[in-house]
Amino acid sequence: MNLIVDAGNTRPKLAVFDKDRILIKEHASYDSLKNEIETILSAHPTIGQGIVSSVTQLEDSLIDWLNAKIPISVLTHESKLNFTNLYDTPSTLGVDRIALISAAAKYFQYQNVLVIDAGTCVTYDFKDNQNQYIGGAISPGLQIRYKSLNDYTANLPKLAPEKLNSFIGTSTETSIHSGVMNGLVQEIDGVINQYSQRYKHLTVILTGGDAKIFAEYLKNSIFADSNFLLKGLNTILECNKNQ
């Protein structure tokens, strides 16, 4: 079995895979991460290897501690991958984006795939039907947009996301919700349309913490998979286990 540690911008996620099947998925905090890992390892002594993906800076001592318990791969742009990376600056490509494309390359091997990760940022990543990663885009996420309206104006309140009943705002609050929610929905649909016009038979995967919020609003057909990044990390771990 495999241990997956995904240290994201907001909070870390932990998962245990038995081959391609997820047995456990948990959210942790950075303060409790070591204890959470210890609990999982104790409960599942047959875990034989693990992978750490971090878009933040995990302490080396934690990785050393974990590596003393099970063999650990730390995902970087130099890790062995199951796709061809054509990004102009591969050393700057985020490990989260690498993992998402790895999942696309495994589960949609001969398809044109656009992966949209709606989290702290909204990332768009495209691989073609030859399993070549071409590139994508990075955009401010939902929370960043709400926060920036409050941070950079004198009078606009900081709101939490809520269901959008109309694209026409009739108060300051509903106007903000329309601008943020509807604006991001239109952005995502627009990006999907751009890729669809250039690449036929496009498969679109929507994942990330805010994926559920947007899934019902998008006009384009999508596959929603909240575990897509974890699946990609597990795939990369399997690719690198004999390295």
- Written as tens digits, the pLDDT of the chain (243 aa) is 999 999 877 788 999 999 999 998 988 888 888 889 999 999 999 999 999 998 876 778 888 999 999 999 999 999 999 999 999 999 999 999 999 999 999 999 999 999 999 999 999 999 999 999 999 999 999 999 999 999 999 999 999 988 888 899 999 999 999 999 999 999 999 999 999 999 989 999 999 988 888 888 888 778 999 999 999 999 999 988 765
> Quick one: 2-74 is in which CATH superfamily?
ATPase, nucleotide binding domain (3.30.420.40)
3-state helix, strand, coil in the chain (%, to 5): 35, 25, 35
Which residues does 129 contact at the CB level (< 8 Å), separation at least 6? 110, 111, 112, 201
Strand order in the sheet with 12-18: 21-27, 12-18, 2-7, 49-54, 72-74
Catalytic residue among 20, 64, 96, 128: 96
CATH 3.30.420.40 intervals, the chain: 2-74, 84-232
The 3-state DSSP class for residue 68 equals coil
Instruction: Say if residue 189 carries a ligand binding annotation.
Output: no
Instruction: Say if residue 46 carries a ligand binding annotation.
Output: no
96 flagged as catalytic: yes
> Quick one: 84-232 is in which CATH superfamily?
ATPase, nucleotide binding domain (3.30.420.40)
Calpha distance 110→156 (Å, rounded): 47
Calpha distance 158→143 (Å, rounded): 10
Instruction: Say if residue 172 carries a ligand binding annotation.
Output: yes
According to DSSP, residue 20 is labeled T
Instruction: Say if residue 128 carries a ligand binding annotation.
Output: no
Instruction: Say if residue 74 carries a ligand binding annotation.
Output: no
